[in-house]
Structure 1
């Protein structure tokens, strides 16, 4: 807004005839001229200042769907590999090996073709690896690759099981002999994990279950005996003493279903000739008192805290 001096010339007569330097000029006209200049400056600079500091962001208009068509669904970016990895927090992630999934898929292809040699060798290499990793199973759950390898070995048909025993049974038996010589329960745990589906691996599982039961670690003992009961044909190889220990571990963990499985098998074989009998102190109890003894608990072992969780290779 520029000051229009021509407009001032058209003012009424008294204002135009005011003498220069008079008090009227100083008191009236000069303030008017000063404020007019201020307003003119503001009118010029404010629009430019607003354009420099407060320019509105122009947003692209959303595309409108064509008549008769549904709006398009926005594309969702694919998740990255890091987002797919399992983790407890942003700083704690479980170890993932993408090649483990490919190995398991390859094993399944060989099993479908009954190529037992290639299948069991690759599975055993997974069990012998120094580091365990996790992968997604068929149900989308994150599981240990060693667990998955043992699960597949346990589900092999009879021909595959026999091939595995012939291939790795001798190595498992030799490792078990070394473990028995040392008396180290860690050796039993290692053999039970690496050779679970051999006869020597099953024997190592029994030894480990006995160790945990003697230490009062009933949950760990029950897990060992559960693996034995779930393996086809393995319950027939268990001695009467092993069945009694299994029933005791299940009783003391509240697993009544597995307790009944172990006890019923034991009761069926108590008087069978040719069986390896129970120790004499248990034989004198009779069936009823023998079953009642399953619930008897030892005194708590000294040196163990209330919230301790003793496991192989645990803290």
Structure 2
């Protein structure tokens, strides 16, 4: 007879293999696209090298602000007052860890350990992370709904290939089967618990403002990073359109569990920019610049901060 512990280990290994398989597939697809479009990426990199330094510095400042916004949202998701400096450092470290493991597992693990080290029970810590993630998703959808009327005709699907239509049909078939699956019930219970926690935190206006304000600032600052980069490389798209394209592309890329949206976000963002009329080289340059400011430059310092927090037993 299988014990509950053995069953949990087995399910954990199955999930890990599934994530690894999806990650490998997406990364191989990304490498294929890089090889196929290498001349465009090379030209984009040279264009980025000659970009306006003032706009790039503005984008870097907005990228730094995303960690403060994330810390504010995380504070709003819990009742206990968290140590500010360690909270900010944890968000910086979590952003680096999020680029190493798929589906946000790295960032979630860092924040979970931080909240538990601050004295929150495991259940409440997980609930706080779910509340923060739910608020972030709701804010993104709300921003898309607000910006779409201001940019009519911007969001449109590219021509769909037979392979894409087949995959979409398979996804719809999977959704039709899910309600009969036990996983669907677990997802519904998790969402119900998150909505209950969100309603409960609105008893405190300060917590509600911190959660929703931090979530809004986080999404807006990421939009500002991309807007600043597009200004730096002279990409001819208005700021509101760039913001809407980023929100739509990042929301679509979140459906693929790659580390930090590696490959999925890059492809979705480049496609969104080019379909909306941006030159291919300029779009590639903007995506490279956005990744440079939000991933590659802070990655090593973030890992160093992560190591310091672990050594000091803050995680």
Tell me which protein shows more helix as a share of its residues. Answer: 2
| TM tier relative to shorter chain | under 0.3
Structure with greater contact order relative to length (CA < 8 Å, sep ≥ 6): 2
Please say which structure displays the higher CA radius of gyration.
1
| TM-score with structure 1 setting the length | 0.21
| TM-score with structure 2 setting the length | 0.21
